[in-house]
Amino acid sequence: MEIHQPLSLLGGLSASLFMRRHWQKKPLLVRQAMPAMAPPIERAALFALAGQEGVESRLIRHGKSGWTLRHGPFARRALPSPGQPGWTLLVQGVDLHHQRAYELLQQFRFVPDARLDDLMISYASDEGGVGPHFDSYDVFLLQVQGRRRWSIGRQRDLRLQPDVPLKILAQFEPEQSFVLEPGDMLYLPPRYAHDGVAVGGDCMTCSIGLRSPAAAPLGADLLARIAEAQADALEEATRAAVHYRDPAQPALDAPAAMPPALQAFARDAVMAALREADAIDRALGESMTEPKASVWFEQGELPSEWNAVALDRRTRMLYDARHLYINGESFRASGRDAKLMRRLADERALGARDLKGASDDALALLGDWCEAGWLHAE
């Protein structure tokens, strides 16, 4: 992506300026970010997707008795009629299932892939919305059909309404309000309060959702991965084990006291595991490319000829200076092969010319990924 070129997607800002001025800092309203916008998926197809196992969907209604939330999958007859006001259907991960939704998400790849989560589509009947709230992540809200009024505010009072199945602000104080038409887009940084309501009929909105790991669960996940990766190494090491020794241990009259030298020995053992070259980088790469629990790949075939390949929509692929990470696995890579694979990760495809120069090792790896359904030959 050309990051210095002005983009209508960002209201004439380049991706580079947008990141400097707005990203994680302040909202941006873009009129006609995507002119002549047509919804990436028809309403009927969205409703059908919400009926599928393995697709995360939610139905939110607001009526006299307050807010209600139900989780999918939803049979078509379980959804209210579009003519009935005040309901919203949210379908997560539409990019994994529909090519046009996937292509739409690709336009936001000036943000690191590691930070991009998914494309959620919300369908709201007239007056429908999910209530005033804030999210922990940045979001691009792209209006794709009908009109929605967004009220937004910095909101200091983050208290939530009690006894509601959703996160709804108790005292929302909007500062600005805009009606978005198809093609308009609103970017909001994390924790910026917002409330979107369908006006003048039903509407559809795409949320380009970001993700950012929280320190504590990320740390726990990485430690578990490091422990697993080291299980084999440990088994080997126990054969030539370095055991705790304490020739200077004096006699004790308080025998239950933990020897401080044993504590230091344990700390060293843990730190040695973490100092293992790249242990944390690898665990992070595997964690950030781990497919969601609902994602599975259909077995593919080894191509008879290498013309062009493209990553499957569901494949997550990242790299760093020494590794490639793909769908929760890591591979060491260097030299020409690494360059080729990084290109695959950035472009999500390789052409015949790229493949012509590929080494046997690289082709073997690409072949494995084709068979796993992570990559498709074209």
Please compute Rg for the chain using Cα positions: 25
Query: Rounded to whole angstroms, how far apart are CA atoms 244 and 247?
Result: 10
Which string of x and - marks every residue 231-270 that binds ligand SIN (by CB under 6 A)?
----------------------------------------
User: Which residues inside 355-374 make contact with Co ion, applying CB under 5 A?
Assistant: none
By beta carbon distance, the residue nearest Co ion is 135
Taking CB within 5 to 8 Å according to partner kind, which of ligand SIN, Co ion, none is near residue 207? ligand SIN
Query: Rounded to whole angstroms, how far apart are CA atoms 30 and 184?
Result: 6
Q: Which of 91, 139, 208, 338 binds ligand SIN (CB under 6 A)?
A: 139
Contacts with ligand SIN by CB under 6 A: the residue count is: 9
State which residue, 18 or 192, has the beta carbon closest to Co ion: 192
Which string of x and - marks every residue 81-100 that binds ligand SIN (by CB under 6 A)?
-------x------------
Q: How far is the CB of 71 from Co ion (least distance, A)?
A: 17
Instruction: Give the contacts of 235 (CB within 8 A, at least 6 positions apart).
Output: none
Query: Rounded to whole angstroms, how far apart are CA atoms 215 and 86?
Result: 37
Which sign does the torsion angle of CA 261, 263, 266, 270 carry? negative
State which residue, 189 or 196, has the beta carbon closest to ligand SIN: 196
User: Of 206, 204, 185, nearest to 7 (Cα)?
Assistant: 185
Q: Which of 135, 221, 278, 371 binds ligand SIN (CB under 6 A)?
A: 135
Beta carbons within 10 angstroms of residue 313's beta carbon: 18
User: Of 140, 118, 108, nearest to 295 (Cα)?
Assistant: 118
122 binds ligand SIN (CB under 6 A): yes
Q: Could you write out the DSSP letters of every residue in 176-204?
A: EEEEEPTT-EEEE-TT-EEEEEEEEEEEE
Q: How far is the CB of 135 from Co ion (least distance, A)?
A: 4
User: Which residues inside 290-349 make contact with ligand SIN, applying CB under 6 A?
Assistant: none
56 binds ligand SIN (CB under 6 A): no
User: Which residues inside 160-219 make contact with ligand SIN, applying CB under 6 A?
Assistant: 194, 196, 205, 207
State which residue, 29 or 273, has the beta carbon closest to ligand SIN: 29
In the three-class reduction of DSSP (H, G, I as helix; E, B as strand; rest coil), residue 47 is classed as helix
- Residue 221: what residue type? D
145 binds ligand SIN (CB under 6 A): no
User: Which residues inside 122-151 make contact with Co ion, applying CB under 5 A?
Assistant: 135
Q: How far is the CB of 129 from ligand SIN (least distance, A)?
A: 6
Taking CB within 5 to 8 Å according to partner kind, which of ligand SIN, Co ion, none is near residue 88? ligand SIN
Query: Rounded to whole angstroms, how far apart are CA atoms 324 and 352?
Result: 21
Q: Could you write out the DSSP letters of every residue in 215-256?
A: HHHHHHHHHHHHHHHHHHHHHHHHHT------TTPPP-SSTT
Query: Rounded to whole angstroms, how far apart are CA atoms 89 and 129?
Result: 9
* Residue spans of beta strands (DSSP E) within 11-130: 28-30, 57-63, 66-71, 87-91, 116-124
User: Of 43, 62, 56, nearest to 90 (Cα)?
Assistant: 56
State which residue, 144 or 340, has the beta carbon closest to ligand SIN: 144
Q: How far is the CB of 83 from Co ion (least distance, A)?
A: 26
What is the distance between the terminal CA atoms of the chain, rounded to a whole angstrom? 23
Query: Rounded to whole angstroms, how far apart are CA atoms 206 and 40?
Result: 9
Q: How far is the CB of 203 from Co ion (least distance, A)?
A: 15
Q: How far is the CB of 231 from ligand SIN (least distance, A)?
A: 41
State which residue, 113 or 135, has the beta carbon closest to Co ion: 135
State which residue, 125 or 207, has the beta carbon closest to ligand SIN: 207
Residue numbers at the binding site for Co ion (CB under 5 A): 135
Q: List residues binding ligand SIN (CB under 6 A).
A: 88, 122, 130, 135, 139, 194, 196, 205, 207
